[in-house]
Structure 1
Amino acid sequence: MTTDEVNVSPSDEELEHEGDVAADFIEELLDIADIDGDLNLDVRQGRAYVSVEADGGGLSLLSAPETVQALQELTRLAVQNKTGSFSRMILDIGGSRDARRRQLEALVDAAEAKLDDGATQASLPAMSSYERKLVHDIVSERGLVSESYGEGADRHTVISRG
């Protein structure tokens, strides 16, 4: 595989297919767990997004951030197995992504307060690449600077004034 093949972003059609495959996998999991849920598919920022919503509380057990992350990884593997292509699909269960964004905003608030108190930088805990991207976006919106450091599960973000 050449560098150009690696750097080519999937088309919206390919991402929609990825979302369909992911939705089929998630739907099977929900059926096994006897949980009712409505699946919505979207393509945003070069990624397939699959969100699961329910009227009742059936999704509450699945919407914990660690559970969503684990289910997302399983779904990505299922998509990759079916399509033969690496998946960067994002899974949201019961609004878990919005809730996590609010938590990350609170972490950035605390880091910004440390900077206001005179610190030259503030480190956040290790988190997934998707969460780090959200942090970088939040930090950028506030006019601050962020960089990721570390490897693997220890990769974390450091925030400064620049």
Structure 2
Amino acid sequence: MTTTEAHESANDDETSVASLEQEGDVAADYIEELLDIADIDGDIDLDVRAGRAYVSVDSPDTTESGLKALSHPDTVQALQELTRLAVQNRTGRFSRLILDIGGSRDARQDELDALVGRAIDRLDEGAGQASLPAMSSYERKLVHDLVAARGYVSESFGDGADRHTVIRRA
């Protein structure tokens, strides 16, 4: 790589991080307005990781703040899609931001880990493969990582909302 190419690559990385930070700021403004409308207290944190903007909403007491109702996985997924649309509308760019409300992402990670564990148990009992339910691309990525860490292989099949993961022995 030439010095010019390295400089351009560094500028692209900075631009990319700056774009993701802008996505996070737009998303935080949108979520803050939503929380104000719903009269729910929450602290918003922004981060950029693995090429995505992460927006976390938390409160010292999630059960009392009203965030508990918003932290249900289906609700978080719906709010994430609305937030992505708000960001896209404002920036003109497709957004892959991740929204976490009241620790919902950690809770979902634990659920996916248990799901993968049950699927691997079926393989250990003699099944040739184990199919998981359809899930988002982000969740499938988490599943692929969990499966690989346990020494198995996984592949995604299907289209759109029906896309799901199949696990097999390595």
CA RMSD for the aligned pairs? 1.2
**Segment drifting more, 68-77 vs 55-64:** 55-64
Corresponding residue number in structure 2 for 1:24: 29
What amino acid does structure 2 have at the position aligned with 1:147? E
Corresponding residue number in structure 2 for 1:70: 78
Query: Displacement of 1:153 after TM fit?
Result: 1.1
> Which sections of structure 1, spanning at least 5 residues, go unmatched?
1-7
Query: Displacement of 1:55 after TM fit?
Result: 2.1
Question: Number of matched residues?
Answer: 155
Corresponding residue number in structure 1 for 2:169: 161
What amino acid does structure 2 have at the position aligned with 1:74? L
Q: Map 1:56-67 to 2 at 5 A.
A: 56=61, 57=63, 58-67=66-75
Q: Map 1:10-89 to 2 at 5 A.
A: 11-56=16-61, 57=63, 58-89=66-97
Q: Map 1:81-160 to 2 at 5 A.
A: 81-160=89-168
| Larger proportion of helix | 2
Distance 1:35 1:55 in 2: 13
Query: Displacement of 1:85 after TM fit?
Result: 0.3
* Aligned sequence identity (%): 73
> Which sections of structure 2, spanning at least 5 residues, go unmatched?
1-11
Superposition TM-score, scaled by structure 2 size: 0.88
Query: Displacement of 1:140 after TM fit?
Result: 1.1
Corresponding residue number in structure 2 for 1:5: none
Superposition TM-score, scaled by structure 1 size: 0.93
Which protein is bigger by CA-based radius of gyration?
A: 2
Distance 1:34 1:156 in 2: 37
Distance 1:18 1:143 in 2: 36
**Segment drifting more, 50-59 vs 60-69:** 50-59
Query: Displacement of 1:51 after TM fit?
Result: 0.2
Distance 2:54 2:164 in 1: 24
Query: Displacement of 1:118 after TM fit?
Result: 1.1
Corresponding residue number in structure 2 for 1:4: none
